[in-house]
């Protein structure tokens, strides 16, 4: 018995360490939560504007964890929608349920089935032979589903506030699983392609700047030290700058990680405003370019973690010919995109 208990404890610690590592490497904030009902529970958050998720290991011998999120629906919003939508409110709830099923997540409604107090969304993550990219895919799927439930209610309320004829429940059901019901993948892929291409371009510029800065400062410092203390002193200063280079690189990566989180958060926040602007067929070219290449890394059409973005940046910096070809096409595509209404005003 004691041997089995020791194995369960070791298994628990390994699973906890792996999940925490993946979350931290993805740039998330991680906190442990006391919960006597489960083996362990950790809370994962990106920004204040995005839903907070929990990663739950139910039993010590389970080979999977649950990635779980919860959305509470204010009673005032539910009461208002039932009054405004009448018989269509039931259709509205069913459309959310069907959309969650299509999004590939499990869900539970808390409270009445026909008027939920809250929606709990979850997905299993089996740890055997899983990688950080699998973790991020499961995490993103649950996150998008939660955002979809929130926007479904918000869009329905906004629709009636504006006095639009939104009598069709399917028409006013918002975003579930990362994009609108009638356009599940397109918007997500377009937005991710634009975002990731821009981040990689900026990371390369920042990385190049830091390298030039360190080389210039190192040359100047070693030259001054050599003039004042001789050749040996100059070489010593030069070595010190070489040793500092990895530290500068790490600072640049931290900046890129923060920028990635901010850009993704802004894109999520503005998605409702951006979607109508993406109707132009020119936006489809970028994802089509990306789908034509495979670098053994999650594609630019997906929401990427820090590690994947760094790998792409390294491909660009190392002048990988295949990636350079794809990235050149993408930058040309970005330059051909139609301007947003705000940009046209300017």
pLDDT in tens, 161-185: 655 545 444 444 444 444 343 454 6
Give the separation between CA 123 and CA 250, rounded to whole angstroms. Answer: 33
Residue 112 burial (10 A CB sphere; 0-12, 13-18, 19+): exposed
Identify the structural domains of the chain with CATH numbers, from first to last.
2-183 (3.30.1460.10), 187-341 (no CATH)
Give the separation between CA 11 and CA 139, rounded to whole angstroms. Answer: 22
Q: Report the SS3 class of residue 19.
A: helix
Strand partners, 69: 121
Mean pLDDT calculated for residue range 12-20: 83
The structure tokens 């009445």 sit at 112
Residue 28 burial (10 A CB sphere; 0-12, 13-18, 19+): buried
Pick the most confident of 26-30, 106-110, 178-182: 106-110
pTM equals 0.54
pLDDT in tens, 274-314: 766 777 778 888 888 998 898 888 889 888 877 787 788 77
Strands (DSSP E) contained in the chain are 29-33, 40-45, 53-57, 64-72, 106-110, 118-126
Q: What is the mean pLDDT of the chain?
A: 74
Give the separation between CA 141 and CA 69, rounded to whole angstroms. Answer: 11
Give the separation between CA 120 and CA 54, rounded to whole angstroms. Answer: 11
């Amino acid at each position: 018995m004691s041997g089995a208990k020791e194995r369960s404890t070791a298994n628990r610690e390994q699973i906890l360490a792996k999940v925490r590592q993946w979350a931290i490497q993805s740039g998330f904030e991680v906190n442990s939560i006391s919960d006597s009902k489960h083996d362990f529970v950790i809370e994962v958050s990106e920004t204040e504007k995005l839903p907070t998720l929990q990663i739950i290991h139910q039993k010590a011998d389970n080979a999977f964890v649950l990635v779980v999120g919860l959305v509470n629906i204010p009673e005032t919003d539910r009461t208002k929608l039932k009054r405004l939508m009448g018989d269509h409110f039931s259709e509205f709830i069913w459309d959310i349920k069907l959309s969650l099923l299509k999004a590939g997540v499990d869900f539970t409604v808390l409270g009445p089935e026909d008027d939920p107090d809250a929606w709990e969304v979850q997905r299993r993550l089996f740890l055997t032979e899983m990688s950080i990219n699998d973790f991020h895919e499961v995490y993103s799927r649950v996150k998008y589903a939660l955002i979809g439930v929130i926007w479904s209610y918000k869009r329905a309320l906004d629709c009636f506030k504006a006095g639009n004829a939104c009598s069709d429940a399917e028409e006013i059901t918002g975003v579930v699983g990362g994009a609108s019901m009638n356009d599940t993948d397109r918007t997500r892929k377009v937005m991710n392609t634009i975002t990731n291409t821009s981040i990689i371009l900026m990371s390369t510029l920042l990385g190049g700047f830091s390298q030039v800065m360190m080389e210039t400062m190192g040359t100047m410092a070693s030259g001054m030290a050599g003039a004042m203390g001789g050749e040996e002193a100059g070489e010593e200063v030069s070595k010190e700058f070489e040793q500092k280079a990895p530290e500068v690189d790490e600072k640049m990566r931290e900046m890129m990680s923060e920028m990635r989180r901010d850009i993704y958060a802004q894109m999520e926040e503005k998605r409702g405003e951006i979607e109508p602007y993406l109707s132009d067929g020119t936006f489809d070219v970028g994802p089509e370019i990306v789908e034509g290449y495979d670098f053994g890394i999650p594609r630019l059409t997906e929401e990427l973690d820090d590690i994947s973005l760094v790998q792409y940046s390294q491909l660009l910096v190392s002048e990988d010919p295949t990636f350079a070809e794809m990235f050149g096409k993408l930058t040309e595509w970005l330059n051909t995109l139609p301007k947003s209404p705000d940009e046209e005003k300017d």
